[in-house]
Amino acid sequence: MARGFKYPTANLEIDWTSLGWETGVYAGRARLAGVAYGAAVVIQKNLPKLEVHLLGYTGEDFYGKEVEVECICKVSEMEPLAGPELLDKIEEDMIKIKKFLSNSPNI
């Protein structure tokens, strides 16, 4: 798991040819070891991976484990930011994701 920011992410390698997702930041859900989590998902089609942050996960790194990820709602576009501006955008996106998930009880 990448821990460089306040929200550690798992970087998952994926095959874009089978997915219909567009580049952006999504509210979603994920399943790890049979446990469901709300998730923040970052998709950048120029990279062969997606990043997922499991909301409420406090366990150990899960390298090599299978993680199921579903994107539910796009909350923002990717922007070429760095430094404080990037950190502010991440915080804004996390607020949107948590609000969306809290208003969707069946997720």
**Is the pLDDT confidence value at 3 over 70?**
no
pTM of the model: 0.86
> Is residue 74's pLDDT more than 90?
yes
Read off the pLDDT of each residue in 34-58 and give the average, rounded to a whole number: 89
How many residues belong to the chain?
107
E-state strands within 33-104 = 35-43, 49-54, 67-76
Which tokens is 33 given? Answer: 């070891």
Average pLDDT rounded to a whole number, residues 31-46: 91
pLDDT over threshold 70, residue 1: no
- Helix count (H) and strand count (E) of the chain? 1, 5
> In this model, does residue 5 exceed pLDDT 80?
no
CA distances from 76 to 22, 31, 43, 58, 97 (A): 11, 23, 11, 26, 10
